[in-house]
Structure 1
Amino acid sequence: MLKSPILAFLFVLLHVAAHAGPPQILLDVARFRNLNKVEKGAEVEIYVTVPTQSLTYRQRAPKAFQSAATVTLEILKADGKPAYREVVTLKPPVLNDTTIAIKNPQSFLKRIMLPDGNYTLRGTVKDQYRSAGGETTVEKPLVLEAPTGPFLTDIVLLSRPAARSGGDDNFARGGYRLTRAPGGVYGRGADNIFFYTELHNAPVGQPLRVHYHLTTPDGSAADADATLTPQSGRPTTVVGQLPLGPLPDGPFTLFVEVYGGPGNKKLLTGHRAIGARSATEYAPAGAAVPR
Structure 2
Amino acid sequence: MVRYLLMVFLVAMGSLAQARPPQIFLDVARFRNLNLVEKGAEVDIYITVPTQSLTYRQRAPKQFQSAATVTLEVLKADGKPAYREVITLKPPVINDTTMEIKNPQSFLKRVLLPDGKYTLRGTVRDQYRTANGETTVEQPLVLEAPAGVFMSDIVLLSKPAAKNGGSDNFSRGGYSLTRTPIGFYGRGADNLFFYTEVHQATAGEALTMRYILTGPNNFSTTSEATVTAAAGKPTPVVGQLPMGTLPDGEYTLLIEAYSGKKLLAGKRIKGQRKQLEYVPAGASAR
CA separation in 1, counterparts of 2:87 and 2:27? 16
Contact 1:40 1:115 in 2 (8 A): yes
**Counterpart check, 1:184 vs 2:183:** yes
Identify the residue that residue 265 of structure 1 maps to in structure 2: 261
Normalised TM-score (structure 2): 0.92
User: Runs of 5+ in structure 1 lacking a partner?
Assistant: 2-10
Select 2:273's aligned residue among 265, 271, 277.
Answer: 277
**Counterpart check, 1:133 vs 2:132:** yes
Identify the residue that residue 87 of structure 1 maps to in structure 2: 86
How far the C-alpha of 1:31 sits from its partner, in A, is 0.2
**For residue 227 of structure 1, what is the amino acid of its counterpart?**
T
Identify the residue that residue 106 of structure 1 maps to in structure 2: 105
**For residue 162 of structure 2, what is the amino acid of its counterpart?**
A
How far the C-alpha of 1:18 sits from its partner, in A, is 4.0
* Residue deviations 1:130-155 (CA, integer Å, cap 9, x gap): 00001001101000000010000000
How far the C-alpha of 1:185 sits from its partner, in A, is 0.9
Percent identity over paired residues: 69
The residue matched to 1:95 in structure 2 has which SS? coil
* Residue deviations 1:39-69 (CA, integer Å, cap 9, x gap): 2100000000101111000011111111000
Normalised TM-score (structure 1): 0.91
**For residue 116 of structure 1, what is the amino acid of its counterpart?**
D
Identify the residue that residue 70 of structure 2 maps to in structure 1: 71
**Counterpart check, 1:168 vs 2:164:** no
**For residue 134 of structure 2, what is the amino acid of its counterpart?**
E
Contact 2:178 2:282 in 1 (8 A): no
Identify the residue that residue 17 of structure 2 maps to in structure 1: 19
CA separation in 2, counterparts of 1:99 and 1:13? 10
**Counterpart check, 1:40 vs 2:36:** no
CA separation in 1, counterparts of 2:198 and 2:191? 23
How far the C-alpha of 1:16 sits from its partner, in A, is 3.9
Contact 2:26 2:46 in 1 (8 A): yes
**For residue 282 of structure 1, what is the amino acid of its counterpart?**
Y
Structure 1 residues 17 and 168, CA, compared in 2 at 3 Å: closer, same or farther? farther
* Residue deviations 1:56-101 (CA, integer Å, cap 9, x gap): 0001111111100000000111111111110000000111111111
How far the C-alpha of 1:12 sits from its partner, in A, is 8.6
How far the C-alpha of 1:166 sits from its partner, in A, is 2.7
CA separation in 2, counterparts of 1:94 and 1:127? 16
Structure 1 residues 12 and 94, CA, compared in 2 at 3 Å: closer, same or farther? farther
Contact 1:13 1:58 in 2 (8 A): no
How far the C-alpha of 1:217 sits from its partner, in A, is 4.2
Identify the residue that residue 218 of structure 1 maps to in structure 2: 217
- Number of residue pairs the alignment of both structures matches: 275
**For residue 232 of structure 1, what is the amino acid of its counterpart?**
A
CA RMSD of aligned residues (A): 1.8
Contact 1:183 1:286 in 2 (8 A): no
User: Runs of 5+ in structure 2 lacking a partner?
Assistant: 2-8
Structure 1 residues 245 and 12, CA, compared in 2 at 3 Å: closer, same or farther? closer
CA separation in 2, counterparts of 1:72 and 1:61? 29
CA separation in 2, counterparts of 1:240 and 1:122? 31
Contact 1:64 1:95 in 2 (8 A): yes
The residue matched to 1:280 in structure 2 has which SS? coil
Identify the residue that residue 252 of structure 2 maps to in structure 1: 253
The residue matched to 2:277 in structure 1 has which SS? strand
Contact 1:49 1:107 in 2 (8 A): yes
Bigger mean CA offset, 216-225 vs 41-50: 216-225
CA separation in 1, counterparts of 2:253 and 2:12? 44
**For residue 17 of structure 2, what is the amino acid of its counterpart?**
H
**For residue 278 of structure 1, what is the amino acid of its counterpart?**
K
